[in-house]
């Protein structure tokens, strides 16, 4: 049964969303340091007390944005075709390219906000949950590969998934700090995926992975 919101609740949610939308704009345009409660409240046409009531402090705004970005990214990754392991892993890279390219400024700013939160308020940072979700997405692909007989099963899918997300997340961080271009980040992530799979690959699959890595110049 659908829940009907009152006019007051609808307006409250609209104001909350407006605050978050303005926060995204500020982060994307001017970065983490430009975001503060007073300027955000002004941009969203609400009072500072209303901002605190609807969303919270700057740190809570950043956490909300990071989690929303994570949800959005995770949902995109879940849509990748998973009938074949290599199609799945290659699809993760393709979808990441498509998603990030659509709004590089926003994804860079929310990543930087998440990293900043992990430094300033480690107990309240969404980074740990982000890594858990990312590892789970990679582990799913490893289970597909195991079912296809591509992996030997000597390394668990969960362990491989964690390592695969680590080799994805490290260059993503460097991209966020403008140390790598988007294509450099994705290339390194792609190479890292293949290298992780090599650690548990069947002889035939190992040969194919090495062939693919050689075409990438590794």
Secondary structure (DSSP) of 15-64:
HHHHHHHHHHHHHHHH-GGG--HHHHHHHTTS-HHHHHHHT-SHHHHHHH
Mark whether 110 and 43 lie in a shared domain. no
Mark whether 112 and 52 lie in a shared domain. no
Does position 139 have pLDDT exceeding 70, yes or no?
yes
**Cα–Cα distance measured from residue 151 to residue 202, given in angstroms and rounded to the nearest whole number:** 5
**Confidence (pLDDT) at 127:** 81
| Total domains, the chain | 2
Express each pLDDT in 150-195 by its tens digit: 999 999 999 999 999 999 999 999 999 899 999 999 999 999 999 9
* Over residues 130-140, mean pLDDT: 88
**Confidence (pLDDT) at 1:** 47
Mark whether 13 and 90 lie in a shared domain. no
**Confidence (pLDDT) at 205:** 96
**Cα–Cα distance measured from residue 12 to residue 187, given in angstroms and rounded to the nearest whole number:** 43
Burial label for 202, CB within 10 Å (0-12, 13-18, 19+), is: middle
Of 58-62, 70-74, 191-195, 201-205, the range with the lowest mean pLDDT is: 70-74
Q: Which among 170, 146, 149 has a CA at the least distance from the CA of 159? A: 146
How high does pLDDT run on average in the chain?
88
Mark whether 63 and 52 lie in a shared domain. no
Q: How many other C-beta atoms can be found within 10 angstroms of the C-beta atom of residue 161?
A: 21
Mark whether 8 and 116 lie in a shared domain. no
**Confidence (pLDDT) at 110:** 81
Express each pLDDT in 22-57 by its tens digit: 998 888 788 778 888 999 999 999 999 999 999 998
Mark whether 27 and 46 lie in a shared domain. yes
Mark whether 168 and 76 lie in a shared domain. yes
Domain at 96, CATH number: 1.10.357
Domain at 47, CATH number: 1.10.10.60
Mark whether 156 and 48 lie in a shared domain. no
Q: Which among 118, 158, 120, 129 has a CA at the least distance from the CA of 141? A: 158
Mark whether 22 and 67 lie in a shared domain. no
**Cα–Cα distance measured from residue 191 to residue 13, given in angstroms and rounded to the nearest whole number:** 43
What pTM, to 2 d.p., does this model score? 0.79
DSSP 141-170: HHHHHHHTT-B-SSS-HHHHHHHHHHHHHH
Mark whether 51 and 75 lie in a shared domain. no
Does position 2 have pLDDT exceeding 60, yes or no?
no
Mark whether 99 and 197 lie in a shared domain. yes
**Confidence (pLDDT) at 146:** 96
**Domain encompassing residue 180:** 58-215
* Over residues 3-9, mean pLDDT: 73
**Confidence (pLDDT) at 5:** 65
The SS3 assignment for 216 reads coil
End position of a domain, from candidates 39, 56, 73: 56
Mark whether 143 and 194 lie in a shared domain. yes
Does position 201 have pLDDT exceeding 80, yes or no?
yes
**Cα–Cα distance measured from residue 47 to residue 157, given in angstroms and rounded to the nearest whole number:** 49
């Amino acid at each position: 049964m659908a829940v009907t919101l009152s006019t007051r609740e609808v307006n409250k949610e609209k104001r909350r969303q407006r605050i978050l939308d303005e926060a995204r704009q500020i982060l994307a345009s001017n970065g983490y340091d430009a975001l503060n409660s007073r300027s955000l409240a002004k941009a969203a046409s609400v009072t500072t007390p209303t901002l605190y009531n609807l969303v919270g402090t700057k740190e809570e705004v950043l956490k909300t944005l990071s989690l929303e970005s994570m949800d959005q990214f995770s949902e995109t990754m879940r849509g990748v075709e998973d009938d074949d392991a290599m199609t799945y892993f290659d699809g993760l890279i393709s979808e990441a390219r498509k998603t990030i390219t659509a709004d590089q400024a926003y994804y860079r700013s929310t990543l930087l906000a998440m990293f900043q939160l992990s430094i300033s308020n480690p107990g309240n940072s969404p980074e740990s949950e982000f890594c858990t979700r990312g590892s789970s997405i990679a582990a799913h692909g490893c289970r597909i590969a195991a079912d296809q007989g591509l992996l030997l099963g000597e390394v668990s899918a969960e362990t491989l998934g964690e390592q695969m997300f680590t080799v994805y997340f490290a260059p993503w961080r460097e991209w966020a700090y403008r140390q790598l271009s988007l294509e450099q980040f994705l290339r390194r992530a792609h190479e890292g995926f293949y290298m992780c799979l090599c650690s548990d690959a069947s002889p035939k699959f190992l040969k194919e992975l090495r062939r693919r890595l050689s075409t990438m110049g590794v």
